[in-house]
Amino acid sequence: MSTPADTAALLARRARTLAPTYQLFYEQPLEIVRASGVWMYAADGRRYLDAYNNVPVVGHCHPQVVEALCRQARTLNTHTRYLAEQPLQLAEELLGTLLPESGRVIFTCTGSEANDLAVRISKAVTGGSGFIITEFAYHGATDLVAGLSPEDGNPLGPGVYTVAPPIGPQAAASFGARVRRCIERMQADGVRPAALLLDTIFSSEGVASDPRGFLADAVSAVRAAGGLFIADEVQPGFGRLGEAMWGFQRHGVTPDLITMGKPMGNGHPIAAVAGRADIFSEFAKGRRYFNTYGGNSVSCATALAVLAVIRSENLLENARRSGEYLRRGLCTLAERGGVIRDVRGAGLFIGVELGQNPASGLTGAAETRRVVNGLCRRGVLVGSTGRNGDVVKIRAPLTLEEQHADLLLEALAHTLRSAA
């Protein structure tokens, strides 16, 4: 069993060895020692409902995924410059969920690498240098995509323009018009559009998913201007939104390029860029891309197991059903008082916008921090998001069930009523 002295010693070692760029989630740091399904277990023996970590999409340490990883690691781990079955099978299965027409895949290790590569491809194929993102977007940690990730406090890169996110009254309905005006600004500046790059659930902006189809007008606008549409599916992808595997499918559009990452290997680092065959063919003229670990045997076997579990356990339907149940419960809580301003999202990706709380005397970001940490003390892990930091972010594994949603709702109700 861990003691406060043990925690203090770990914190001291962390401060001595890790750079100060690292941060911890909660005011009372958690030392997690194991996990299974929707549960994470701390060194003091307490278990926590994980309703935030979007990496273990099929649940922590899923035995079928772990077995596939170990079996392949015992057999062979090499790269894509040899012929192998696993990367081909994985590409075929991914493309079967993504594109109605012929497509191709490039494997990488992280979502940041995938977005970096998609940006490079769009520049090469269109001849443009301008990118449109939302005002508080996050697309990764490489130097290139850091310039497209204002959420992290980074300055915008050259040729990067922003539009307001589709959050608020009429914001979704006018999103396409805002993108058109942005394109006009770019053209007036002599900048040729290369791509519209969007996280299809707008997670860092505070979560936006409705009404269905609102992205179509913006996508048409950028294509008319000669640019591509890049769908960043790193967070919403692999069924998190329920009903469909990918966030863009809620909007009836087919992206030119699709990036994916974190959930793909359920914790094992694998990511990818998928897109139209003609785009990759054009990019490949005079250019090469090889990633030593991208598409390695172990990573591909692991990702194939993730896809198999999603299918065999009917997890898209579970995400839809459990997500609807959870959102109904959150809306009921909202009706009891004015603390919850809005409930947004789809499936098991939900944003709960908070306002002033008479019980705590806090509002906005301060109230959200209090609620996130209050839920942690009550055994439920969530996060926060949004430009104003006033949105509780729920991003649960696809295995979360109604009984788990009840625990979250009960803990949230107690936290909102309390002053601590």
Residue 292: the pLDDT is 93
Are 405 and 386 members of one domain? yes
Range of the domain at 345: 4-58+314-417
pLDDT more than 90, % of the chain: 92
Same domain, 202 and 133: yes
Average pLDDT (286-312) is: 95
Q: How confident is the model over 339-369, as pLDDT tens digits? A: 999 999 999 999 999 999 999 999 999 999 9
Beta bridge partners of 162: 133
pLDDT at residue 200, as a whole number:
98
Is residue 137 scored above 90 in pLDDT?
yes
Burial environment of residue 200 by CB neighbours within 10 A (0 to 12, 13 to 18, 19 or more): buried
Residue 419 — very low, low, confident or very high, per pLDDT cuts 50/70/90? confident
- With 0-12 CB in 10 A as exposed, 13-18 as middle and 19+ as buried, what is 373? middle
Q: Is the pLDDT of residue 3 over 90?
A: no
Same domain, 290 and 349: no
Average pLDDT over residues 16-25: 92
Residue type, 379: G
Apex 416 CA angle, 413 and 417, nearest 5: 85
The CATH number of whichever domain residue 44 belongs to comes to 3.90.1150.10
> Checking DSSP bridges between strand 193-199 and strand 228-232, what pairing results, if any?
parallel
Q: Tell whether 44 and 106 lie within a shared domain.
A: no
Which of 312, 335, 369 is a domain's end point?
312
* Pair 249, 321 in one domain: no
Q: What CATH number has the domain bearing residue 120?
A: 3.40.640.10
76-104 pLDDT, tens digit each: 999 999 999 999 999 999 999 997 777 99
- The pLDDT of residue 91 is 97
Paired sense of beta strands 39-42 and 47-50, if any = antiparallel
Write the pLDDT tens digit of every residue in 308-347: 999 999 999 999 999 999 999 999 999 988 899 999 999 9
pLDDT for 113 = 98
Number of H helices, E strands in the chain: 12, 15
**What confidence tens digit (pLDDT) does each residue in 243-263 have?**
899 999 999 999 999 999 999
Strand-pairing partners, residue 93, are none
Total domain count for the chain? 2
Look at residues 268, 295, 312 and tell me which one is the last residue of a structural domain: 312
pLDDT at residue 2 above 80?
no
Q: How far is residue 189's CA from residue 128's CA, in Å, rounded to a whole number?
A: 13
CA 118 to chain centre: 16
- For residues 206 and 165, the answer to whether their CB atoms sit within 8 Å is yes
Query: In DSSP terms, which residues pair with 259 in a beta bridge?
Result: 232, 273
In this prediction, residues 64-69 reach a mean pLDDT of: 98
Whether residue 283 is predicted with pLDDT greater than 80 in this model: the reply is: yes
Q: What is the pLDDT of residue 5?
A: 85
Residues 334 and 259 in one domain: no
Looking at 264, 289, 312, the residue that finishes a domain is: 312
Q: Are 22 and 14 in contact (CB under 8 A)?
A: yes
**pLDDT(126) > 90:** yes
Q: In terms of domains, do 279 and 327 share one?
A: no
Residue 191's CB: how many other CB atoms inside 10 A? Answer: 18
> How high is the pLDDT of residue 102?
76
pLDDT for 13 beyond 90:
yes
Q: Give CA separation, 409 vs 178, 286, 322, 348, 379, in Å.
A: 36, 55, 12, 14, 12
DSSP per position, 182-236 = HHHHHHHTTPPEEEEEEETT-GGGT----STTTHHHHHHHHHHTT-EEEEE-TTT
Q: How far is CA 125 from CA 61, 104, 114, 224, in A?
A: 40, 15, 16, 15
In which order are the strands placed within the sheet that holds 340-346?
A: 340-346, 349-354, 391-395, 383-385
Q: 204 and 348: one domain?
A: no
pLDDT, mean over the chain: 96
What pLDDT does 154 receive?
A: 87
Q: Are residues 22 and 164 in the same domain?
A: no
Over residues 55-65, mean pLDDT: 98
Q: Which class for 151: exposed (0-12), middle (13-18), buried (19 or more C-beta within 10 A)?
A: middle
Kindly tell me if the per-residue pLDDT of 420 is higher than 80.
no
> Per DSSP, what are the bridge partners of residue 308?
none
Domain shared by 405 and 301, yes or no: no
Question: Do 378 and 264 lie in a common domain?
Answer: no
Distances (CA, A) of 185 to 119, 193, 214, 245, 270: 20, 11, 22, 34, 37
Asked whether residue 81 falls in the same domain as residue 227, the answer is: yes
Residue 6 pLDDT > 90, yes or no? Answer: no
Percent of the chain whose predicted confidence (pLDDT) is above 70? 100
142 pLDDT more than 80:
yes
What pLDDT was estimated at residue 99?
A: 75
